[in-house]
Structure 1
């Protein structure tokens, strides 16, 4: 206990400057075994530290404390303690012990899932992701856990915010696979099918290819063929929404060809059973702003109109400018990655081995930088 009191004093005194924190980090590494042995008795020491100022020391003690089995009476207290720490800790300190921060957050995720209260974990886990990553382009080990909680809590829009960010740095391949899997399901739930296609693999790619054909019969056949896989993933309901959306897409295509069309013709063209079904689809699409049209109930005719957006508003100009800036930024990143690869020893070694397969004159011995 005396050694713990001394450690607390050191944490309190060495959490100011960068040099002090670096020295403290070295001391904390030496105390890991003793902290683990004291795990059940560490709660009282946490109360002596300020997680907003002494984040690194607090994290080491919290990680050791949470490594002990949690009794049935403790989960809510545990969740509250970790949530408070996540919200108040300093990002620059917890990144020094990223593995311990990840460990604490994963136990936190396990507890909210065990209590069947995933919504309690969504906001803290989102904060944890933001504090752990070095930039919005960095995929951390906590991204999959955050997306899983969003799925379980049906908080799809919250998860979608993270998925909209471009990823260029990945810690572990497994984290990326889970990120794509959970992210794909969230995108399907929000009807962002193009993004879902980017994230998911076969049989989901087969589903996407069938969808792009525009043929309902082909899409339904693909769904039936892979039904067992979709059911095992608990995605069959979402896949059925894909089938429903193809009807909408085919109706949208009609607006490019026709000015007016009867409900019966729409039903026949997009393979709906009755004109009434066609009418319901058209009405929903008009309400959602997916097409611009009016229905003459007397003649059962649909008149398609031009998009009223003239692309002259300030909002639209800002949107276009933002897209241009994003593309320019991506171009610079690709150029930087290309340059890094061109000088990477592993790449050069592999290129050297491949050289034997070609004539020497086919090779440019000087790595090139491509400007996109």
Structure 2
């Protein structure tokens, strides 16, 4: 194209139907270098285009403009322009150039982080993900950026709208690692430790040929959350890569030592282990979680008592759980009863605690609905896995690889069956 003016005229004229948009796309591709060379003067031309009607052309101009340096006084106008574009653009048109759309959104993310207004990027990036996705099962490269902004702005609940999706399609492995790592951190922030463990587990057990920093940091948090939520760190499942099994513990020795001390149930030993490595925990930004591990040991020791005794005095609980006073023991027991972590009653007169069995009978309407929804989800997951398995088994690349690796057999390779065995 000879000029930006001529290109804008073509965008206005050729954005009406799919055939014309396809032709326009070819023109825009040819003009990429020219647009980038004129990045600083492109902003006024955007005002001549409607982001909802001329989405593809608008995207090319906006991406070229954002590729150049932005002055401080231009940042505010740029952010508003991107937000308006994301909200109103046509999903069909921007999916013709997903890399351009992703580039604009990442530039937008960088700007809100640089200006320290991460919260301004949360809603726009969530909209951008939905427009870029072909289905809710598709993990885009914008997922990790969105979750990062949720973390920085402490809008943890906003991240759940994305984290609750079941993901089956991933473009880049790094996106999956970051998505699950940030997802784990968001669930930690909401104290949804069970969900946090699921996310972090996915990072630790994901296929990898070489160890990466994301997996190492995820494993550190995985150890801490496992201790807080379950009181122990589970062994690596069989499907964990050999790389992770061989190397993760070597890079996280202070956390392994912490888990070993926790297993003894001795508060003083755990406290000493924490003090020994406190600078390391602080440098990893995990000191808050480490303190929760320390606090959870009291609860874990009290839970152990429920497996042995039917009744116990608050004084005895304080001694067994290594608490300073019966009053402290009472506060811990009350909190655990309230959180549903133990089932007990406290007799205020004699200071005795009676431990009970779980009263859940699994026959209420709410429980039946919960079980039914879980069954339905498992059935859907099983169906999806069968479909993926069938697709892979028909994939030419997979069949070629298996054909090379597997020994081939022909009928001639086997001994003939003696005739007498064929007689009835």
TM range (shorter): 0.7 to 0.9
1:181 corresponds in structure 2 to: 181
2:250 corresponds in structure 1 to: none
Name the CA distance, whole Å, in 2 between partners of 1:300 and 1:318: 40
* Distance change in 2, residues 1:80/1:308 (3 Å): farther
Structure 1 residues 59-96: Cα deviation after superposition (integer angstroms, max 9, x where no partner): 11111111121111122222111112112222222121
Question: Where does structure 2 lack aligned partners over 5 or more consecutive residues?
Answer: 205-218, 234-261, 412-424
* Distance change in 2, residues 1:19/1:241 (3 Å): farther
Q: 1:263 is matched with which residue: 314, 320, 328? A: 314
Name the CA distance, whole Å, in 2 between partners of 1:39 and 1:133: 28
1:134 corresponds in structure 2 to: 134
Q: 2:387 is matched with which residue: 336, 360, 372? A: 336
Contact 1:150 1:159 in 2 (8 A): yes
Q: Does 1:322 align with 2:373?
A: yes
2:15 corresponds in structure 1 to: 15
- What's the offset of the Cα at 1:4? 2.3
* Distance change in 2, residues 1:296/1:103 (3 Å): same
- What's the offset of the Cα at 1:118? 1.1
- What's the offset of the Cα at 1:247? 4.0
Name the CA distance, whole Å, in 1 between partners of 2:110 and 2:144: 13
**Partner secondary structure for residue 76 of structure 1:** helix
1:355 corresponds in structure 2 to: 406
1:72 corresponds in structure 2 to: 72
Contact 2:344 2:353 in 1 (8 A): yes
Matches of residues 1-372 of structure 1 in structure 2 within 5 Å? 3-200=3-200, 201=204, 202-207=219-224, 211-212=231-232, 215=263, 216-217=265-266, 230-245=281-296, 247-248=298-299, 251=302, 260-304=311-355, 311=362, 314-355=365-406
* Distance change in 2, residues 1:77/1:233 (3 Å): farther
Name the count of aligned residue pairs: 360
- What's the offset of the Cα at 1:232? 3.1
Name the CA distance, whole Å, in 1 between partners of 2:273 and 2:195: 20
Name the CA distance, whole Å, in 1 between partners of 2:280 and 2:388: 37
**Partner secondary structure for residue 96 of structure 1:** coil
Question: Where does structure 1 lack aligned partners over 5 or more consecutive residues?
Answer: 362-372
Contact 2:197 2:226 in 1 (8 A): no
* Distance change in 2, residues 1:48/1:335 (3 Å): same
Name the CA distance, whole Å, in 1 between partners of 2:401 and 2:345: 62
Contact 1:207 1:223 in 2 (8 A): no
Name the CA distance, whole Å, in 1 between partners of 2:81 and 2:17: 26
* Distance change in 2, residues 1:245/1:24 (3 Å): farther
- What's the offset of the Cα at 1:157? 1.9
* Distance change in 2, residues 1:252/1:94 (3 Å): farther
Contact 2:221 2:286 in 1 (8 A): no
- What's the offset of the Cα at 1:36? 1.0
**Partner secondary structure for residue 50 of structure 1:** coil
Contact 1:206 1:222 in 2 (8 A): no
Contact 1:189 1:238 in 2 (8 A): no
* Distance change in 2, residues 1:290/1:208 (3 Å): closer
Name the CA distance, whole Å, in 1 between partners of 2:199 and 2:380: 22
Which stretch shows the higher mean deviation, 247-256 or 160-169? 247-256
**Partner secondary structure for residue 50 of structure 2:** coil
Structure 1 residues 287-307: Cα deviation after superposition (integer angstroms, max 9, x where no partner): 445555443333223345566
- What's the offset of the Cα at 1:138? 1.3
* Distance change in 2, residues 1:288/1:204 (3 Å): closer
Rg: which structure is higher? Answer: 2
Name the CA distance, whole Å, in 2 between partners of 1:308 and 1:142: 45
Name the CA distance, whole Å, in 1 between partners of 2:121 and 2:409: 59
Structure 1 residues 83-135: Cα deviation after superposition (integer angstroms, max 9, x where no partner): 12112222222121111111111111111111111111111112112221222
* Distance change in 2, residues 1:229/1:38 (3 Å): same
RMSD of the alignment, in Å? 3.2
* Distance change in 2, residues 1:3/1:241 (3 Å): same
Contact 1:185 1:235 in 2 (8 A): no
* Distance change in 2, residues 1:50/1:245 (3 Å): farther
